[in-house]
Amino acid sequence: MSAELEAKMEKAVEATRREFARLRTGQASPAILNDVKVDYYGTLTPISQVATVKSPEPRMLFVSPWEKQLVDPICKAILAANLGLNPSKEGDGVRVAMPILTAERRQELAKMAKKHAEDGRTAIRNLRREANDAVKKNKELPEDQSKKDIENIQKITDKFIGMIDAALAEKEADILKV
């Protein structure tokens, strides 16, 4: 049971880390464009499936589409994603400069990171509650064994909440670094 619980909690931590990756910091990260979808022959397709996204400089992304006619749709998709980015065509690709974040915007992003972390913690607590309920419903378990199981569930929960807290601290430091 604990291995299954740990696998579910690991997924919650990974989901939180993916949310953190989407938050824009002062550094350019290809993960920022993960949710951007391009109109590819009438189908909305993630940028990563129609182009290569690289970070040649700390504050610059370069998107190299696999087909030349995708340059304009990629520009439109990045603008439509409301990420605060301004793409520009450059030869057979799209250059995306990362604007410098204002102190106010950094604080806003830090709040968003805290919200994503709290969502992850809530998901883990819900998994803990479900596991505890399953232990309590199992009448065949001796009382001392069910207490040990509940303590073990709490230890696992604390471990994964600690992982989210560590990821949050790292992301906040990255966001607030000037």
Q: Give 142-159 pLDDT, tens digit per residue.
A: 888 889 999 999 999 999
Q: Give 128-146 pLDDT, tens digit per residue.
A: 999 999 998 988 888 888 8
Q: Give 4-63 pLDDT, tens digit per residue.
A: 999 999 999 999 998 887 776 667 778 788 788 998 888 888 888 899 988 888 888 899
Between 147 and 83, the more confident residue is 147
Between 143 and 127, the more confident residue is 127
d(CA 123, CA 120): 5
Q: 14: how many CB neighbours lie within 10 A of its CB?
A: 12
Kindly state the percentage of the chain with pLDDT values over 70: 97
Which pLDDT score, from 0 to 100, does residue 57 have?
84
Instruction: Give the model's confidence band at 115: pLDDT under 50 very low, under 70 low, under 90 confident, else very high.
Output: very high
Which pLDDT score, from 0 to 100, does residue 26 have?
66
Spacing of C-alpha 59 from chain mean position = 20
User: Across the chain, what does the average pLDDT equal?
Assistant: 88
Which pLDDT score, from 0 to 100, does residue 144 have?
87
d(CA 117, CA 160): 11
d(CA 72, CA 78): 10
